[in-house]
A and B are shown apart, each in its own frame.
Chain A
Amino acid sequence: MDPKTYKFDTLSLHAGYQPSKNAGSRQVPIYQTTSYMFDDVDHAAALFNLERGGHIYSRMSNPTVQVLEERVCALEGGTAALATASGMSAIFLTIMTLCNAGDHMVVSSQLYGGTVNLFRLTLPKFGIKTTFVKPRDTEGFKKAIQPNTKGIFGELVGNPGNELMNMPEVSNIAKEAGIPLIIDSTYQTPYLCRPFEHGADLVVHSLTKWMSGNGSSMAGILVEGGTFDWMQNDKFPSMTEPYDGYHGLSFAEEFGPTAFTMMARAEGMRDMGPCLAPQNAWNILHGLETLSLRMEKHCSNALKMVDYLSNHESVAWVSHASAPGHPDKELAEKILPKGTGSMIAFGIKGGKEAGAAFINNVKLASHLANVGDARTLVIHPASATHSQMDEATLKFAGLSHDMIRLSVGLEDFEDIVNDFEDGFRAAKKPRLVANK
């Protein structure tokens, strides 16, 4: 006897949506509206006071966005989700729900540059301080925890250096300290890894990337695993004590495994309002329908690319957890059995100048500040995505000036290789190309 609940590919097409409640529309409708009619005064009062479910104003929730939230939640195996205008706003909302002024976070050092800046520069303005720890330094996470630490945050596969955080072990450290582990799983998508199955408590994504795949829309999401007991200690009074904003509601008591998301929506979306536009939610939903198919091809192209780059005379080094000799290969095989994703970092011989020539001379690969598009993308992080970091921070984050970040797309592999050969040829004589 086995449960007949729907499985991953089916959920990616159907979860969160019932045509019978939407005029029979097979495709999810775009509810392009700001607000929703109340039945009567009593109905309005009940909605505002979280006594019943429903929509009030699209800053808080929207029926199209709701489908996306439930769909991603189902794919991640979570209890609740909250979509936001971007991945960065999902992270900001998460931290602002978790922390108060005077609190502290322990954070992996290998992150998207914008996330580093959020923790390093912006959150201190709100009195939230951070200790950065290198992703492979598992013991370092433990040592960095202080009495006022409210969580551990990291990308499972760090951007852009592809170093892995040992999620199961770091999760044990977080559990011991009575704080949640928050994983940015943008690089993996739930197709490659479901962090809740490895001890994470909260997951954030930039849906702009692989989840969408079409490069058309910005979006982010916070997903709750329902695993964390907010009442186990006195570290999270905003979750456990009566909240004046809703007549003394205790989110942890009332909502249990969905408490964090309920609070992030009720307080965070109400007061900060980084809501997702329904059109963008619809675009992301389109991408999600083919998530499995795309991730398989992303991963198979990436494996071929690792092999190609590893044997190329112009390449000094390649970092991808599938690469022979990668320090995290064993861990990757354990927690990413379907593949280690399509992000590759490699060093080009000739350093920064050669890297610039390479990027200026590839034609198929797009030079831009995004990852996870269906198309192949390249960038030189030290001069773009991570350019706001000083030398010491770059080094601590594992970045070098010869590094090129590659997001392998779905094109025919031979076409990508032909394009790269043009880039490498130009990189061998950068001055000549630069003068052209």
Chain B
Amino acid sequence: MKFKVRGIDTFASTGGRPFDKNKPLIIFVHGSGLSHMVWVLQTRYFAFRGYSVLAVDLPGHGLSSGESLKTIEEMGNWVGDVIGAVGCKEASLVGHSQGCLVTMECVAQHPEKIKTLTLMGGASAIPMNPELLKLAEESNPKAVDLMMDFAHGPAGHFGGHPVPGLYHLNVGSMIVQNKEIKDTLGVDFRACDNYKNGPEVAKKLDLPTLSILGAQDRMCRLKDGKILADYIKGSEVKIIEDCGHMMLLEEADQTLEILKKFIAEHYPLPS
């Protein structure tokens, strides 16, 4: 659906159900250069099980208007504003990769609004390889190819998508190339590279938190994901074997099952 955040047209997938502000809200936040489309194998499930979901396109991404936000702090604040913009008071957040930094910042800035936090493929800092950063800021398509290479685990490079017929290396690539690379991926990579508050923010989090980590993640390595989880008080950790950074596509079923259990326990539907 389209709605306005700070006066700018914003798009979020509602998982195929009409948005209802009276239902418990889950917001999904995508990673660098991506869009709502990466969440389709998680959002539809919750949307048809009593939740309202918003898989948002960050400003300048996917179907949202405006320019990409330049810092993780701004993005986190913007996600907090989304909640009020759709007439809700609170939400659970699910972030992937850069979306983990963004959702942590959102909790830090709007602690009263956020009930649970799920971090997929996260780390407390995501420093960028300088060559990759330069390629992205020059809109060189090689940046996308490298990102897709790093983002998928060894098994993911062979394919075997949970949805028959999809070849996920190319799906991710086309989602990123939907926009000018430097305006989305380039800006996002720079924002990740600049962000240094991760450890401090993580240490202050005080809400039910789940980290889903890929054992073969080369973008945010398993050990970095574990360090982040260790910073967060009481954080649950689930590791998916034989999986890279794109667990939400590479191992969509396992990811959904883990998320279902966490949400059911910590953010249940009203009885």
A residues in contact (CB < 8 Å) with B? 1-6, 14-18, 20-21, 45-46, 49-55, 60-62, 65-66, 69-71, 73-74, 77-83, 225-227, 231, 246-250, 253-258, 261-262, 265
Contacts and interface: CB of A to CB of B under 8 A. Distances in A.
A182 B8 CA distance: 36
Given A79-B171, A254-B37, 9 more contacts: A1-B132, A18-B159, A53-B164, A61-B164, A70-B166, A73-B165, A78-B170, A231-B63, A261-B165
Given A20-B155, A51-B44, A53-B41, A258 B131 contact: no
A258 B171 contact: yes
B16 A248 contact: yes
B67 interface: no
Contacts of A71: 159
A53 B155 contact: no
27 contacts: A1-B129, A3-B145, A5-B145, A5-B157, A14-B158, A16-B160, A16-B167, A20-B155, A49-B44, A49-B48, A52-B41, A52-B252, A55-B164, A70-B159, A70-B167, A79-B166, A79-B174, A225-B174, A226-B170, A231-B63, A246-B16, A247-B48, A248-B16, A249-B16, A253-B63, A256-B37, A256-B175
A13 B161 CA distance: 17
A255 B37 contact: yes
A42 B186 CA distance: 41
A53 B162 contact: yes
Given A70-B160, A79-B171, A4 B149 contact: yes
A100 to B, nearest CB: 22
A230 B137 CA distance: 28
A330 B139 CA distance: 31
Contacts of B37: 254-257
Contacts of A66: 164-165
Given A66-B165, A78-B170, A79-B166, A46 B159 contact: no
B155 A18 contact: yes
From B37, B146, B148, B158, residue with most partner A Cβ within 10 Å = B158
A74 B160 CA distance: 11
A255 B40 contact: yes
B86 to A, nearest CB: 17
B142 interface: yes
B160 A53 contact: no
Nearest to A69: B165
B161 A70 contact: yes
Contacts of B163: 53, 258, 262
B253 interface: yes
A254 B165 contact: no
Nearest to A265: B165
B178 interface: yes
Nearest to A82: B165
A342 B40 CA distance: 43
B231 interface: no
B164 A265 contact: yes
Contacts of A49: 16, 44, 48
B2 to A, nearest CB: 10
A79 B13 contact: no
Interface in B119-177: 129, 131-132, 142, 145-146, 148-149, 155, 157-167, 169-171, 174-175
A358 to B, nearest CB: 43
